[in-house]
């Protein structure tokens, strides 16, 4: 969570969404592609130090943009979730847009 928070703007919101899932809300953003790329690098580029040695960590990111005709927050989250699972299927450590 800390690494995600370090990669976003102060007006963006990072929160736990599930057991090991986080949501990042990017108000006033045309595209999440640049932020997704920054998040991927921000997590993967620095291993986490442990007593057993460095632990490499990666993330899979699904992102979607609120568009006209959206049926509310649940619709946006469903689109984002579909993109997340596509990122996992395509090999992880990647971002996929819906």
Q: Is 6 a catalytic residue?
A: no
> Tokens in use for 90?
């395509």
DSSP state string for 34-51: HHHHHHHHHHHSSPBP-T
Find, among 19, 3, 8, the residue nearest to 63 by Cα. Answer: 8
- 6, 20, 30, 33: which is the annotated catalytic residue? 20
Active-site residue numbers? 20
């Amino acid at each position: 969570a800390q690494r995600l928070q370090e990669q976003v703007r102060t007006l963006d919101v990072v929160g736990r969404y599930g057991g090991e899932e986080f949501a990042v809300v990017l108000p006033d953003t045309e595209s999440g592609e640049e932020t997704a790329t920054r998040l991927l690098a921000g997590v993967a580029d620095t291993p986490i130090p442990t007593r057993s040695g460095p632990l490499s960590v990666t993330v899979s990111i699904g992102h979607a943009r609120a568009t006209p005709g959206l049926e509310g927050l649940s619709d946006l989250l469903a689109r984002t979730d579909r993109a997340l699972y596509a990122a996992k299927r395509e090999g992880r450590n990647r971002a996929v847009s819906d």
